[in-house]
Every structure is written in structure tokens, then in C-alpha cells.
Amino acid sequence: MIAKSGSKRWVAAADQAARKAGVRVGMPAAKAQAIFRDLMLVDADPMADATALERIALWALTVYSPIVAVDGLDGIVMDTEGADHLQGGEQPMLERIANRFRGKSLMVRVAIADTWGAAHACARAIRRETVIVPRGETFRAVEKLPLSLLRLPEKIVDDLRMLGFRSIGELANTPRPPLSLRFGPEVGRRLDQMLGHLAEPIEPIRAPEWIEVSRAFAEPIGAAETINKYVGRLIVQLIDELERRGLGVRRADLIVEKVDGTRQAIRAGTAKPARDVAWLTKLFKDRTEQIEPGFGIERLKLVAVIAEPLVSAQYASCLVEEQTPDITPLIDILGNRGLRIFRLAPVASDVPERSVRRIGAAVEPLAETWVSHWRRPVRLLDRPERITVIALMPDHPPRSITWRGKRHQVIRADGPERIFGEWWKRDAEFDAVRDYFLVENEAGERLWIFRSGDGVDPETGDHAWFCHGIFA
């Protein structure tokens, strides 16, 4: 990437191969060309970069957190507090973000820290893809990092370097007054923001097409009942607006702006487009207790981040037959608490562990079920457990089995039910065979066991026995 400033052309970014060849960011373009012949030069397009970054930020806003903003020229910043549990925690969330970018063959560095400044610095300094700075460890994490990550103007950074400062830690341990006298208040402000002594609210990015209703308060509010009352009114306003446009909300954010300039956001998602006052009210009322009013709330804003067309449908009125009630609101209530809600659906596979898949709880009924006349166990073990058996090969069920250190005499047995490997899925299963038996011991406990292999041909399996399930 080559950027132009005036008549000077210099390297603005380089990929890994170029860096290996010795090209550095900031070096003149002519010099880079001299280092490596046939170097591919692309003119930088800051405008396109900015639009792409904004698009990424808008996407992240719909997926990860209600408060997202573009950070500098090359990053986005998110306030994920209270939103990470929907992604399964901080670490899984980071990994998922990294995977999403890698899937698009983009390089990404992700960091979570207590403050915007610390996360900014860590994300740009780490070599790994993801990093989480534990709570309260901000200073330890950033003290060794270079000054350039402090988000200060370049001039100040250069001057500080000239004075001998190298790392953020050194600067933070220096008395402030002389620094402010010489460089102005900027240095102290950035340091305080990084270490969390000074709040730095994130001004979230907004798309113009979103439906937004807000309410400002002349007198800051704080009581739980008052908050609930106004949230209820905002929901009614939002629903009116949605109705006018024929939309239903899929995801809504409640943004709370407090007197001290900080923001808190609550997000609620629905499984189907919703335009029902009671439904949305319930979703938000569940969680308004999480709002910390602090010194008071100045402004409440309710935004429909994702809205989808919702046409009114007429219900067939049938007086004779009772209708099964719609449970989507219930699914939403539980889903917004971070629980995993799903239905199970059949998959056309004979291999037991592959015959079930999870589908969304709000998916239309599939009306299909498993077709098998063989009995299936109620509990299927996560992975088959190795057992030792005494059995007559090849076709007879075992006489006795030892599972989890306990010996069971087999009184009755059914089988074998032969299941072949799915060679069209994995080459290793080309010859694989499992022979399933239902065995019952003297107490009446019924287990589902299998032998890998058909008992004759060693190609089909190593004749080891496993317990795979428990019958009722």
C-alpha cells in the first residue's frame, strides 16, 4: 500500500511477505522498490478503508454489542459488558470474532480490557490473535508497551521519545505537572483514560435507517419504577413507529445515557419479528434492574437495530379445535437470559450420534421423525465407553460385560444390529462396521453396547467393545 502526502510517496501498509523482504511501514516507496524488485504497489484508498471499517462496525453492532464505534483508522471498539454471555463468555466470543475474520482471510487482532485505551494498545501490540486483560490488571498489561499506542499526536510522541521515555509505564510513573506544563493536558488525559481514572464513553455508531425513539429528562431519573415507566412508554412509541412501516423488531437496544457521560446498553433479541407491546416490555423489564442509574439518567433511547417486515395475518378462528399457543415469546425470554434453547430434528444417518441435530426452537414444525423399528436408548453417552466382555464370536451377544468397573451378567440380549460406516462422509469409515446389542443383566438394567467390527474381518474394526447408551 502506498500513500501520498504532497509529492512524497511512502509505504502505508505491507503484508507479511513484503515485511519479510524488509519493507517497513513509513519508508519511501522508491526505497521499498529498490529493496525488492517486482514489488506490487497498490495506491491506498483511505475513503474506501473508512467505509469498509464502518460497515464492519455496523455488522459487529448487530451481532456482538449495542455500543460499537470506529476506533482510529484501523480498528473498532466495542463495549461488550453484559453482552458476552450471549456468545458463551469472553474467550469464546473473541475466538468467534477471530474465526469470522479469518474465514474472510483477513488478519485481525482482538483484545478485551477494562478501558478503551488499554484494549486499543493491547490489540495493536500483541502477536497472538486474541488477548484478555484480567480485571484490575490494566497497568501491568500496558506498562511495557511503547508510547505510540497511547493515542497521542505524533509530535508529542516524538518529543517524549527524545526525552528518553520508551514505555507507557515509565511515562505513567513520572510526575504529571512538568509533563502537562510542557505537552499540555493531552498526555495526562490519555494516561488516565487508559488506566481507567477517567471515563471515556464510546459514542456508538448509528445507521440512518434504524428506527429510534428517545426521551430526554429535564431532571435526571433514577428510581426503578420511573425507569420502568419510561421504558414502557418508549416501547409503545417504537411499536407505533414499526406499525407505520409494517416492520417487526428482531433486535432492540435500550441505551441509557447517564449524567456523568457514561452509557449503558441493554439488548433484547427475538426469535421472530415482534410488534407486541407486552412481549417487548417483558423482555426489557426482565433486565431493567441491571441498569445502574449512578447519579441519574439523562436520556433513554430505544433503537430497533434489526427490523424485518411483519405483515398482519388473520388467525383462522376455529371454535371446535383448540389452538396450540405460540411459544415464541417464551423462547425469547429464556434466550435473552443466555440459555441455549433448541429443538432436536432427525438426520438421515444410521450412526446414532449423527442422527440428531439441533435446530432453532422457533423453526416451523418439520413433521418428520426417526424411522426405526429398533429400540433406542434414553441416554446416549457422549462418547462410547470402553468395556470388557466375554463373548462368543462372531454373532453372539456377550455372556458378561464389565462397565465402569462393575461386572454385569448378561441374562437376555438382542442383536446384532449392524451399522455401517458412512464412507461418503469420511474415508476412514469405508470399511467400518458396528454391531449393536441390547443386553440386560440380572437386575433388569438394559445397556446398549457395540463391537467395532463384524467379528470376522479385522478390516472392519478392531473388535473392541463399547457401551454407548442406557435403556429405560
Partner 1 sequence: MSAARETVLADLRERISALEGGTAWRAGFLPFGVAEIDAVLSGGGLAHGALHEFAGGGSGTVDGAAAALFAAGIAARTNGHIAWCLTRPDLFMPALAQVGLHPDRVVFVEADREEEVLASMEECLSYGGLGAVVGELVRLPMVASRRLQLAAERTGTMAIVVRRWRRQTEANDFGQPTASTTRWRVSVLPSEPLPVEGVGRARWLLELIRSRAGECAEFEVGACDDKGRIHLFPRSLDRQNTASRSRHSA
Q: Which three cell numbers stand for residue 225?
A: 419504577
Closest distance of CB 333 from partner 1, Å: 6
Closest distance of CB 449 from partner 1, Å: 13
Cα dist from 85 to 81, 82, 155, 338, 365, whole Å: 9, 7, 41, 6, 29
DSSP of 423-462, one letter per residue?
A: TTT-GGGSS-EEEEEEEEETT--EEEEEEES-SS-GGG--
Alpha-carbon span 148 to 166, nearest angstrom: 9
Cβ nearer to partner 1, comparing 91 with 372: 372
Residue 418 DSSP code: E
Cβ nearer to partner 1, comparing 317 with 323: 323
Give the one residue of 355, 400, 402, 409 binding partner 1; rule: CB under 8 A.
Answer: 355
Closest distance of CB 428 from partner 1, Å: 24
Q: Are 76 and 56 in contact (CB under 8 A)?
A: yes
Cβ nearer to partner 1, comparing 309 with 365: 365
Q: Which three cell numbers stand for residue 433?
A: 462396521
324 binds partner 1 (CB under 8 A): yes
Chain position carrying cell 441509557: 256
Q: Which three cell numbers stand for residue 457?
A: 474381518
Alpha-carbon span 437 to 435, nearest angstrom: 7
Cα dist from 81 to 70, 84, 95, 120, whole Å: 18, 7, 17, 16
Cβ nearer to partner 1, comparing 117 with 469: 469
Alpha-carbon span 435 to 417, nearest angstrom: 5
Give the one residue of 189, 299, 343, 463 binding partner 1; rule: CB under 8 A.
Answer: 343
Cβ nearer to partner 1, comparing 45 with 445: 445
What are the backbone angles phi and psi of residue 403, rounded to the nearest 5°? -130, 130
The answer to whether the Cα torsion of 116, 118, 119, 124 is positive or negative is: positive
374 binds partner 1 (CB under 8 A): yes
Alpha-carbon span 114 to 131, nearest angstrom: 12
Cβ nearer to partner 1, comparing 14 with 283: 283
339 binds partner 1 (CB under 8 A): yes
382 binds partner 1 (CB under 8 A): yes
Binding segment for partner 1 among 40-48, 118-126, 262-270, 463-471 (CB under 8 A)? Answer: 463-471
342 binds partner 1 (CB under 8 A): yes
The answer to whether the Cα torsion of 193, 198, 199, 202 is positive or negative is: negative
Residues 393-452 interacting with partner 1 (rule: CB under 8 A): 411-414, 438, 440, 442-446
Nearest to 448 by CA among 385, 373, 406, 354: 385
Residues 136-195 interacting with partner 1 (rule: CB under 8 A): none
288 binds partner 1 (CB under 8 A): no
Nearest to 302 by CA among 266, 273, 278, 270: 266
Give the one residue of 55, 102, 245, 375 binding partner 1; rule: CB under 8 A.
Answer: 375
Cβ nearer to partner 1, comparing 17 with 356: 356
383 binds partner 1 (CB under 8 A): no
269 binds partner 1 (CB under 8 A): no
Binding segment for partner 1 among 27-35, 100-108, 140-148, 353-361 (CB under 8 A)? Answer: 353-361
Alpha-carbon span 66 to 53, nearest angstrom: 17
Residue 244, number of CB atoms within 10 A of its CB: 9
Q: Is 122 helix (H, G, I), strand (E, B) or coil?
A: helix
Closest distance of CB 346 from partner 1, Å: 7
351 binds partner 1 (CB under 8 A): no
Closest distance of CB 429 from partner 1, Å: 21
Give the HSE-up count for residue 301: Cα atoms under 13 Å, Cβ half-sphere.
18
379 binds partner 1 (CB under 8 A): yes
Q: Is 413 helix (H, G, I), strand (E, B) or coil?
A: strand
Cα dist from 390 to 370, 445, 465, whole Å: 33, 18, 10
Is beta strand 379-391 parallel, antiparallel or unpaired with respect to 356-360? unpaired
Give the one residue of 126, 198, 345, 464 binding partner 1; rule: CB under 8 A.
Answer: 345
Residue 430, number of CB atoms within 10 A of its CB: 13
Binding segment for partner 1 among 28-36, 67-75, 128-136, 379-387 (CB under 8 A)? Answer: 379-387
Q: Which three cell numbers stand for residue 51?
A: 467505509
Cβ nearer to partner 1, comparing 105 with 369: 369
Binding segment for partner 1 among 27-35, 152-160, 317-325, 418-426 (CB under 8 A)? Answer: 317-325
Binding segment for partner 1 among 39-47, 168-176, 217-225, 318-326 (CB under 8 A)? Answer: 318-326
Binding segment for partner 1 among 71-79, 92-100, 149-157, 345-353 (CB under 8 A)? Answer: 345-353
Closest distance of CB 320 from partner 1, Å: 14
Give the one residue of 236, 380, 419, 464 binding partner 1; rule: CB under 8 A.
Answer: 380
In the complex, which residues of this chain contact partner 1 (CB under 8 A)? Answer: 322, 324-325, 327, 329-331, 333-334, 337, 339-346, 352, 355-356, 361, 365-367, 369-370, 372-382, 411-414, 438, 440, 442-446, 469-472
